[in-house]
A and B are shown apart, each in its own frame.
Chain A
Amino acid sequence: MKHIFQWIDERTGLSGPVRDFLNYPVPKYVHRNFLYTLGGMTLVAFLLQVVTGILLAFYYDPSTEGAYNSVDYISYQLPLGWLVRGIHHYGASAMVILASLHMLRTYYFSAYKRPRELNWLTGVMLLFLVLSFGFTGYLLPWDQKGYWATKVGTEIAGSVPLVGNVLMRLMRGGATLGQATLTRFYAGHILLLPTSVALLVVAHIFQMRFHGMAPAITKKAQSQAKIFVPFFPQWVITDTLVGLGLLALLVAMTWANHAPLEYPADPTRSDYVPRPEWYFLFYFQLLKYFPGVLEPVATIIIPLFLFGSMVLLPFVDRSEERRPWRKPVTTLVSIFYIVVIVIFTILAMAAYA
């Protein structure tokens, strides 16, 4: 065995970089804190999406005539099809939740501050790519939910002043939702987005390794800041255990409730009540409050403001203070947003219950 490794190493020179990667010193306060597994968990969730996504692509038919039947076939006739699609379906929600929690952890620990601004920015971009994955993914079964969510979603782009109509047509590949839309969303979902996410994840992890962990914020953690454990196996085992827990949870959720598939897309049904995926419900609710000419406020201006403030955060909040209880402004702003999002989500759910 040793000879084989030596043979490979002489020809690749990989043992040095790999050893450095695995021996990376992780501060003990990080290793002991569950909150620091959120980033790794998001990555595990992404890898699960890649594996299940590749499997689904072996059976999925990206055509308006065949898409629904192929997903129906995967779900109800293919051995373990229900499981693969179920993990992919619930895994999408898991990615949204984990990426958001990871971002909140970074926020409250002020880990976005100098010199980690670019790591925060790659994270912001990754969060939006995760949401784009969700948006492009649920059209693919070509069922009622996906069809109407995409109709509304592209109309939202259409409400942008001046260029809206062009944007909407570019997203749809034409004036109406159809084959061109499905192919576009499919190519984006299985090629463009995964490669973009993979590249950004590499950049994200590289930057994290380059700067090391952000300074500890509690006295207890600071007292352990000079004690380290190696990335492998200590840290990796923690992530592996939590990752197995995530997989078990996704399997259990799928077992309890198979991934839903609604009726086939039907542009003539007026009794269908379109609702987006749960993580877009707050936005859906927001759209109700801005009538007539104010429509772009809800569809574009507020989302752009949110995105812009996330991008600008590390450049605006440049103080040295890292403890959230000593930074009432940023802490209260985030709590305000969380409360609004929760209330809007509940309102939207109540309206359709």
Chain B
Amino acid sequence: MAASKLPPLPSDKGVWDDHAITRRGFLEAVFGVLAGIGALLVAIPSVRFLVGNSLESSATKWVELGKVADLPTAVTQVSYSTRATDAWREVTQRGTVYVSSADGGATFSVLDGTCTHLGCIVQWNERDGQFVCPCHSGHFTREGEVISGPPPHRLRQLAVKVKDGALLAEI
């Protein structure tokens, strides 16, 4: 395109390279740019669409674990259920925690039963006084500290409060 419009060079100087730019080369470049723009126009909203709401932080909430008077002081697994929104679905969200009291029921400690290694539910072993994860053999003390195995952190300690005689934990 451009090559044909260049003014002729003096004959003693030489000639223009007639491949300096060809129509075909120009059209190829134009196609590349257009296709690139098209691909980005499709890709960017697609990625945003796929990410969706998955990175939104979820608010914590308080769930009731039972009446303080009824809770045993030994380490006890307590399952809770609460209404929650799961994407477009209203569901009964269920989970499990370990409740214990070191001072005869005056105050309670609530540990999240989720192993900090890869998310399995730990089991309380009364004989050894330890929590044991059945997946990859992580061991925790009664207070939730790591004794051995792969878990990188202690079990998560949940905030608790007593309201109208019931023990609530923040999940």
Residues on A lying within 8 angstroms of B by beta carbon are 63-65, 148, 151-152, 154-156, 159, 166, 169-170, 172-176, 178-180, 183, 266-274, 284, 287-293, 295, 298
In the bound complex, residues from chain B placing their C-beta under 8 Å from that of A269 are: 96, 121
Residues on B lying within 8 angstroms of A by beta carbon are 50-58, 77, 79, 86-89, 91, 94-96, 113, 117-124, 134-137, 146, 148-152
Top 4 closest A-B pairs, CB basis? Answer: A178-B86, A268-B79, A155-B118, A268-B96
Residue contact B151 to A292, C-beta cutoff 8 Å: yes
What are 13 A-B residue pairs whose CB atoms fall within 8 Å in the complex? A64-B89, A152-B120, A174-B58, A174-B86, A268-B96, A270-B77, A270-B121, A274-B120, A284-B135, A287-B118, A291-B150, A292-B150, A295-B150
**Among the listed A63, A64, A295, which residue makes an inter-chain contact with B152, where contact means beta carbons less than 8 Å apart?**
A295
Give B113's nearest chain A residue, CB to CB: A270
**Cβ of A288 to closest chain B Cβ, rounded Å:** 4
In the bound complex, residues from chain A placing their C-beta under 8 Å from that of B87 are: 173-174, 178-180, 183
In the bound complex, residues from chain B placing their C-beta under 8 Å from that of A176 are: 58, 86
Tell me, in angstroms, the Cα distance from A258 to B89 when the chains sit together.
32
In the bound complex, residues from chain A placing their C-beta under 8 Å from that of B113 are: 270
In the bound complex, residues from chain B placing their C-beta under 8 Å from that of A65 are: 89, 91
Residue contact A273 to B134, C-beta cutoff 8 Å: yes
Tell me, in angstroms, the Cα distance from A175 to B59 when the chains sit together.
11
Q: A148-B120, A151-B120, A293-B152 are in contact. Are A288 and B54 (CB under 8 A)?
A: no
**Cβ of B110 to closest chain A Cβ, rounded Å:** 15
Q: Which of B55, B94, B121, B122 has the most CB of A within 10 A?
A: B121
**Among the listed B54, B118, B123, which residue makes an inter-chain contact with A270, where contact means beta carbons less than 8 Å apart?**
B123
**Among the listed A179, A266, A270, A288, which residue makes an inter-chain contact with B150, where contact means beta carbons less than 8 Å apart?**
A288
**Among the listed B54, B118, B136, B151, which residue makes an inter-chain contact with A173, where contact means beta carbons less than 8 Å apart?**
B54
In the bound complex, residues from chain A placing their C-beta under 8 Å from that of B54 are: 169-170, 172-174, 180
Tell me, in angstroms, the Cα distance from A155 to B96 when the chains sit together.
18
Residue contact A266 to B94, C-beta cutoff 8 Å: yes
**Cβ of A303 to closest chain B Cβ, rounded Å:** 14
**Cβ of B31 to closest chain A Cβ, rounded Å:** 23
**Cβ of A298 to closest chain B Cβ, rounded Å:** 8
Residue contact B149 to A170, C-beta cutoff 8 Å: no
**Cβ of B30 to closest chain A Cβ, rounded Å:** 28
Tell me, in angstroms, the Cα distance from A63 to B124 when the chains sit together.
32
Tell me, in angstroms, the Cα distance from A82 to B57 when the chains sit together.
41
Tell me, in angstroms, the Cα distance from A224 to B152 when the chains sit together.
59
**Cβ of A96 to closest chain B Cβ, rounded Å:** 22
**Cβ of B115 to closest chain A Cβ, rounded Å:** 9
Give B97's nearest chain A residue, CB to CB: A268
